[in-house]
C-alpha cells in the first residue's frame, strides 16, 4: 500500500474529481428524475409518452457510449464544454432515467385516495404531486435511491474515457509509473467501497427516520 | 346550489348512471341511499368531477363544472369531500393536513390557517390530536379530522361518500354527530350512506337509487314510512329488519 501513500496528493485530486462527479451528477439527476416522473404520471398523454420514451431510451443505452458521443458529438454542433462538465451533464441525464423509474414505483405505492383527496381540496396536479404524492413516494424509495447513488458513484469512472482525470484515472497513471496494479487498485477499490458504505449508512438512517405510521 | 341534468356514465359496457337529474338547494341536506352497486358513490364523485360522466352536466352554484385544469381546481376548492377511507395525508400531522389547502389554494397565511384549523378540530372534538400523524388516530378520529380538513376550505357544499362505512361500529356515532351538527348549521350536504337512522334524522330529502337510476325521492318520514316503489319497499325491508 505504501505505493499509494507515495502518491497521496494525486490520489486526493482524483478523489475530489470523483466526488464532484458524484455529487453534481446526483443533484442533476434528482432534479431531472423528478421532472421525468412528473411527466410519466401526468394526465396529459403526450407528456406521459415523452417521459416513458426518455426512461426507455436512457436505460437501454450504455453510459460509455453516451459519454463518448457527447464528447465528440457536441463540439461538432458548436457546443464546447469542459470534459468534467460534459461528464456531469451526461451522467445526470443517464441516471435520471433510473431515478425516475424508482420514483415512479414509489408514486404507484402511494394510495390512489391520497391524490383524490388532494385534488378534491382544490390543489392543482402540480401541487398534489409536490406536496402530497412525491413526499410519500420518496419515503418508500429511499433504499432503491441509495442503490442508484452507489451505482452512480461507480459509473463516474467512465468519465475517464473522455479525459476526465478522476480517482480511477489517477490510479491508472500511477500504475504506469509504478507497475504495481494489485496494491494500487485494491487501495482505490477500498476508497470507492468507503464512499458506497457512507451512502448506504446515510440512506439506512434516513429510511428509519422517515418511516411513516400507516 | 347543485343542479345535475341528464347525467349518464358508463364504465366500459356497464351503464352505471342513467339519466340522473338532481337538484340540491342551498342549505339542503340530501341523503342518497340504495343497494351496493346502485351508482350512488359514482354520482357523488361526479359532482366534483373525480369521475367524469360521458353525458349530461353538473352545475355548481350556477357555474357548469369545467372539464380540467385550474378552473376545475377552483371548483373543487368550493366543494368539500369526505371519503370512505378518510384519505388523510399520511406524512403530515393532522394540523398540516388541514392547513395545506387553505395555504396553497386560498393563499391564507400560516398563523391564520392554523388558527382556523384548531377551531375546526375543537369543533369536531379532536382538538388535542393536532400534532399527531393520521396513523396514530382511531378511524373515527381520522374521519373527523378529514371533515375538519374539508371544512377549512369554507366550502359551499359538502359531499360525503359513505363516510362511516370503513369505521368500527362504536365509532360511527361520533362521526354522524359531527355531520348532524353541520346539517343543523345550515351546510348544504350530499351524503351517500347506509346509515338509515342518520337519513331519517338529518336529511331534508332522501334520494333512493338502484341500478344507476334515481328510483324515488322524498322527505325522509314519507320515504321510510310509505315508500312508493316496489324497489324501495324491497330495499327498506332488507335493511330495516335488523
Assess whether pLDDT exceeds 90 at residue B64. Answer: no
pLDDT band at A212 (very low <50, low <70, confident <90, very high): low
Chain A, chain B: beta-carbon pairs less than 8 Å apart: 78
Range of the domain at B40: 2-240
Chain A nearest C-alpha distance from B235 (Å): 30
Contact A122 B149 (CB under 8 A): no
pLDDT at B191: 97
Query: What residue ranges define each of the domains in chain A, with the CATH number in brackets?
Result: 2-213 (1.10.3720.10)
Percentage with pLDDT > 70 across chain A: 98
Of all residues in chain B, the one with the smallest CA distance to A125 is B69
SS3 for B60?
strand
Domain harbouring B22, CATH code: 3.40.50.300
Assess whether pLDDT exceeds 90 at residue A2. Answer: no
User: Which of B91, B107, B132, B135 is the best residue to mutate to test the A interface, defined by the most A CB atoms within 10 Å of its own CB?
Assistant: B91
What's the number of domains chain B is made of? 1
pLDDT tens per residue across span A168-211: 999 999 999 999 999 999 999 999 999 999 999 999 898 888 87
- Find out whether B56 and B6 touch, Cβ atoms under 8 Å: yes
Percentage with pLDDT > 90 across chain B: 87
Percentage with pLDDT > 70 across chain B: 99
pLDDT tens per residue across span B67-106: 677 888 888 999 999 999 999 999 999 999 999 999 999 9
Nearest to B153 among A116, A122, A135 (CB): A122
Assess whether pLDDT exceeds 60 at residue A27. Answer: yes
- Chain B segment 101-120 residues within 8 A of A by beta carbon are 101, 104-105
Percentage with pLDDT > 90 across chain A: 85
Assess whether pLDDT exceeds 80 at residue B65. Answer: no
pLDDT at A78: 87
pLDDT tens per residue across span A137-180: 999 999 999 999 999 999 999 999 999 999 999 999 999 999 99
The pTM assigned to this predicted structure is: 0.86
Residue B60 region by backbone torsions, left for phi larger than 0, else alpha for psi between -120 and 50, else beta = beta
SS3 for B9?
strand
| Contacts for B19 with CB less than 8 Å, ≥ 6 apart | B6, B7, B8, B56, B213
Cβ neighbour number for residue B132 with a 10 Å cutoff: 16
Q: What is the mean pLDDT of chain B?
A: 93
Which residues of chain B lie closer than 8 angstroms to A213, CB-CB?
90, 133-136
State the pairing for strand pair B14-24/B29-33: unpaired
Which of B149-158, B188-197, B233-242 is the least confident region?
B233-242
DSSP code string of A101-126 = HHHHHHHHHS-HHHHHHHHHTT--HH
Strand ranges of the sheet holding B63-64, from the earlier edge strand across to the other edge: B14-24, B2-11, B55-60, B63-64
pLDDT tens per residue across span A68-84: 999 999 988 988 889 99
pLDDT band at B189 (very low <50, low <70, confident <90, very high): very high
Nearest to A213 among B86, B133, B149 (CB): B133
Assess whether pLDDT exceeds 70 at residue A213. Answer: no
pLDDT tens per residue across span A99-118: 999 999 999 999 999 999 99
pLDDT at A103: 95
pLDDT tens per residue across span A5-24: 888 999 999 999 999 999 99
The C-alpha torsion from A198 through A199 and A200 to A205, rounded to 10°, is: 90
DSSP code string of B158-206 = EEEESTTTTS-HHHHHHHHHHHHHHHHTT-EEEEE-S-HHHHHHH-SEE
Amino acid at each position: 500500500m505504501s505505493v499509494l501513500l507515495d502518491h497521496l496528493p494525486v490520489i486526493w485530486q482524483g478523489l475530489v474529481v470523483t466526488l464532484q462527479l458524484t455529487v453534481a451528477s446526483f443533484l442533476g439527476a434528482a432534479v431531472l428524475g423528478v421532472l421525468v416522473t412528473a411527466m410519466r404520471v401526468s394526465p396529459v398523454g403526450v407528456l406521459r409518452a415523452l417521459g416513458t420514451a426518455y426512461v426507455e431510451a436512457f436505460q437501454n443505452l450504455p453510459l460509455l457510449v453516451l459519454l463518448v458521443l457527447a464528447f465528440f458529438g457536441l463540439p461538432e454542433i458548436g457546443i464546447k464544454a469542459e470534459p468534467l462538465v460534459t461528464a456531469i451533464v451526461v451522467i445526470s441525464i443517464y441516471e435520471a432515467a433510473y431515478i425516475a423509474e424508482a420514483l415512479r414505483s414509489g408514486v404507484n405505492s402511494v394510495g390512489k385516495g391520497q391524490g383524490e383527496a388532494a385534488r378534491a381540496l382544490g390543489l392543482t396536479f402540480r401541487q398534489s404531486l409536490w406536496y402530497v404524492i412525491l413526499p410519500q413516494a420518496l419515503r418508500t424509495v429511499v433504499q432503491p435511491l441509495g442503490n442508484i447513488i452507489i451505482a452512480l458513484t461507480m459509473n463516474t469512472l467512465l468519465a475517464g474515457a473522455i479525459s476526465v482525470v478522476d480517482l480511477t484515472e489517477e490510479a491508472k497513471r500511477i500504475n504506469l509509473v509504478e507497475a504495481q496494479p494489485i496494491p494500487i487498485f485494491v487501495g482505490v477499490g477500498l476508497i470507492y467501497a468507503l464512499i458506497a458504505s457512507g451512502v448506504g449508512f446515510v440512506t439506512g438512517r434516513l429510511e428509519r427516520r422517515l418511516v411513516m405510521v400507516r | 346550489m347543485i343542479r345535475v341534468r341528464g347525467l349518464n356514465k358508463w364504465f366500459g359496457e356497464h351503464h352505471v348512471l342513467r339519466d340522473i337529474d338532481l337538484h340540491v338547494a342551498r342549505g339542503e341536506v340530501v341523503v342518497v341511499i340504495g343497494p351496493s352497486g346502485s351508482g350512488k358513490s359514482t354520482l357523488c364523485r361526479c359532482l366534483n368531477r373525480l369521475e367524469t360522466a360521458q353525458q349530461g352536466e353538473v352545475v355548481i352554484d350556477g357555474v357548469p363544472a369545467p372539464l380540467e385544469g385550474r378552473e376545475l381546481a377552483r371548483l373543487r376548492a368550493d366543494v368539500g369531500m369526505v371519503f370512505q377511507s378518510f384519505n388523510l395525508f399520511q406524512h403530515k400531522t393532522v394540523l398540516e393536513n388541514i392547513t395545506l389547502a387553505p395555504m396553497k389554494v386560498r393563499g391564507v397565511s400560516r398563523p391564520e390557517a392554523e388558527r382556523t384549523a384548531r377551531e375546526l378540530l375543537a369543533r369536531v372534538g379532536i382538538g388535542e390530536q393536532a400534532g399527531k400523524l393520521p396513523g396514530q388516530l382511531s378511524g373515527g378520529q381520522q374521519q373527523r379530522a378529514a371533515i375538519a380538513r374539508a371544512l377549512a376550505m369554507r366550502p359551499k357544499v359538502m359531499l360525503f361518500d359513505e363516510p362511516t362505512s370503513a369505521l368500527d361500529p362504536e365509532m360511527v356515532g361520533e362521526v354522524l354527530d359531527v355531520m348532524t351538527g353541520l346539517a343543523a348549521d345550515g351546510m348544504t350536504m350530499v351524503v351517500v350512506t347506509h346509515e338509515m337512522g342518520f337519513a331519517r334524522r338529518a336529511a331534508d330529502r332522501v334520494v333512493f337509487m338502484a341500478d344507476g337510476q334515481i328510483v324515488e325521492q322524498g322527505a325522509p318520514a314519507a320515504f321510510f314510512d310509505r315508500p312508493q316503489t316496489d324497489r324501495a319497499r324491497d330495499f327498506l325491508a332488507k335493511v330495516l329488519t335488523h
